[in-house]
Structures are given as structure tokens and as C-alpha cells.
Amino acid sequence: MSRLFGTDGVRGVANRDITAELALDLAVAAAHVLAEKGEFAGHRPSAVVGRDPRASGEFLAAATIAGLASAGVDVYDAGVLPTPAIAYLTADLDVDLGVMISASHNPMPDNGIKFFSRGGFKLPDATEDAIAASLRADWQRPTGAAVGRAKTLPGGGERYVEHLLGAVPAALDGLHVVLDAAHGAASEVAPEVFRRAGARVTVIGAEPDGLNINDGYGSTHLGHLRVMVAQVGADLGLAFDGDADRCLAVDASGQVVDGDQIMAILALDLKERGVLRGDTLVATVMSNLGMLQAMQREGVNVLQTAVGDRYVLEEMKSGNFSLGGEQSGHVIMLDHATTGDGVLTGLTLAARIASTSKSLADLAACMTRLPQFLINVAGVDKNAVDSNAVVQAAVVSIEQELAGTGRVLLRKSGTEPVVRVMVEAATAQHAEDVAQRLAAVVLTELAL
């Protein structure tokens, strides 16, 4: 049986998979599991809840707040804010639990629920599994003054903005930046913080109506950003996803700068400033081979983890490293954030441009990407990908074919019902051909 929690919380179609009842039950179970672990010992428990602008987030946040309060937890309702803002506020407010209602880069009909423990870190797998196992248990319900109280949190966005401004390593004076907020959670705070950091800001994708999140805008749809950067002659463009925990960039000529390139630029920046602890970058197995080669040349060690920012963070905490992330644009800067923070990433990238007077294209040239082709194979049993002998034999054969010139990665998605087939090769055509061949085997062998 698959886990209820994926790599980034519980996610699915809102009001079908992710219902008000499930949100309430998860909140109650989380409160009781944490209480049993002694997290609330000696004090009245408290939590902060936030959401992205999806219409379904309104009833899911209300249900989550109700569940927590019914379990005796006082709740701050932070409203619409980025995921990293809720992680920051969990620590800043010194509450026991943070909850974010969001499906990140997924389309509007989806939604999700993710939890942060005291200090703003995502819950460990074991705690998530305990919550899932405790759903709808027969808990003792508090009564009278012991029930939780819920109130609106004033100024949560401003607290987050001030935090970000304190983390910017250089003023952005003179930079013209286009921001694409994906009609999502950063639609207000991102333009505000960039302007206050000194940049001239042009904004697109910042008119959320509850239905348009990630719809043609944001880090998964860079077309509008590329056009606008060229149209206004900006120095760079930055695109966030719906909950702003990831960031991708576009240089002045319209070329996309992905998460691997951003991490390479930031690793060299932090190394130069003497704050890249252990001279180490933590990335996932999805990172481009070109990035690994560039970091080796520059004396930066790269540790690779399974896909998912939670696994990157675990490795960072274990080794006391300061920088890690994913090709998708999740970048964790552990000196300033406990999770991926797209706005912080964009600010630091822009500050590197401002402080060096180099263009983003020049900075991104520190690495050369190998052509990479990714196919998401739907309509298959993703949980059987590691155990199917024919599929695994195909992987071994392709690895032998690519030896020394590329690589192949086959994995089930932690957030979507697909198997991801990724191939890197010397040419784009070879990468695509190999990926198509392997995807065909996956589809034939694992079809539902």
C-alpha cells in the first residue's frame, strides 16, 4: 500500500482526493501524534496555517484550522502566503506546528497539505506515517477552555518580507527584474521585497483569482516571462511556482537558466564569500552532469540524494551544509531558510548580478548543460517500476550504451501518478531517442 504522504505532503484533486474531511482529520491526527511525542509538554500548543490562492484552499484551510482547534491547538490564520513564509513564521512565532495548504506547481484543481514541525522543518517520514496511521482514531476531545482558539495573524507577510531583506547580500540598485508570480502565493510579497531591495520591477502573473494559479504563468510556463524580459529590456526574469518554493530564471536574451545553473552560480557566490560550508553543494540525482563537472572544476563537492527537497534537506542538516536544491528550482539556503524559497533564491541570484556587474548569461556560463530529455509516462503502475525485471533490464542496457557520454534515470514521481524517464546524452536527438525507447518499455510493461 502506498504512503498517504508523498515527497511534498498529501496531494491530489481537491474535494475528491483532498477533502475537507481529510484536512480536518489530518489536522486532528497531527496534533495528537505530536502531543504523544511530547512536543506540547509544559505549554498550550499553537500552530500557524497558510495557503496559496486556490479556491479550494479556502475550505481546506478552514477545515484544517477547525481540526487543530478541536484538538486543543491555538491557531494563527496567516492567509495567502508562500510556503517558505509559513515555514519561516513557524519558527519566528515559535509555534509547535505549521501547515501549508498548496499543491505547489500543480494545476488549479489539485491541492495539498504539508506540515512543518517546530523550527519550520518538514516533518520526518516516520511522523507523517504515524499521522496517517492515526487518522480518525478515537481521541479524547478537549472541552471548555481547553479547546483551541483561532485568530487572524496580522502582518505575517511583512514579517517575511523583512526577513528576506535581511538575507539579501547586496543591494539590487540599477537592476531591472521581471517577476512572474504564477498568479500564486508570491503575487504580493515578491514585488514588494524586490522593490524594497532596490530593483526596478515589472510584474506579470500576479492577479490571482482563485482559479488561475499556474495557468500559463510561473516556473512551469516560461513563455510570457521570456517575451516580457525582451519587451522591456530587463536584466533578468524570475519565475516562481504557485507556492513560491521554487524559482527559475531567464537571462536578458530570453534563455532559460534552470535550477542546476542557479545552484552553480550560488555555490560559487557562497564559496567566494566563505559561507559555502564544507565547500559542498547538495543536489539530487536529477541534476545535470554538466553541473557536476563544473563544480568539480571549481573545487566544490557535490553530494547527490533521492529526488525531493526533503531528502536534500536531510543531507544538508546531517552534514551541516549551507546550500542544496533541485534542477526544478527548489533551492535551500539553510543559513536563511528551512525549506526551498523561490523569492530568496531570486533575490540572491539578482544580488550576485548586481555585485559582480556580470550578466546572468555570463554567470550561467560557469557550466555547460548536457542535452537532457524528460518524459512523464502516465497510465502506468508507478509503484512497480523498481521491481519489473524487463524495465530494469532495459535501464541496464541503456546505461551501457551511454557509458561515459551520458546517463539515464528512471523513477516514480512523488507528487504525480507518472513514471519519469530522464536521459542525458551528447546530443539532444540521442537523448530524446533513448528516452522514447525506454518510455515505450515502461508503458508496455507497467500499463494499468
Report residue 318 as a C-alpha cell.
546531517
DSSP code at position 106 = S
138 is in an annotated binding site: no
Of 46, 56, 102, 104, the active-site residue reads: 104
141/163 Cα distance (integer angstroms): 37
Contact of 423 with 406, CB cutoff 8 Å = yes
For residue 20, count CB atoms less than 10 angstroms from its CB and return exposed for 0-12, middle for 13-18, buried for 19 or more: middle
Helices 389-402 and 428-446 sit at what angle, rounded to 10 degrees? 170
Report residue 299 as a C-alpha cell.
573545487
Torsion over CA of 251, 367, 359 and 183, rounded to 10 degrees? 30
Residues 6 or more apart whose CB falls under 8 angstroms from that of 335 comprise: 167, 275, 322
Contact of 201 with 191, CB cutoff 8 Å = yes
Helices 20-36 and 55-70 sit at what angle, rounded to 10 degrees? 40
129 is in an annotated binding site: no
357/348 Cα distance (integer angstroms): 14
Residue 104 is a catalytic residue: yes
Q: Name the amino acid, one letter, at 88.
A: Y
245 is in an annotated binding site: yes
For the sheet with 10-13, list strands across it.
10-13, 110-117, 97-101, 46-51, 74-80, 150-152
In sequence order, what DSSP letters do the residues of 133-172 get, joined into one string?
HTTT--PPPP-GGGS--EEE-TTHHHHHHHHHHHH-SS--
335 is in an annotated binding site: no
User: Which residues are identified as catalytic?
Assistant: 104
- Binding-site residues, in ranges, read 104, 241, 243, 245
- Binding-site residues for Mg(2+), in ranges, read 104, 241, 243, 245
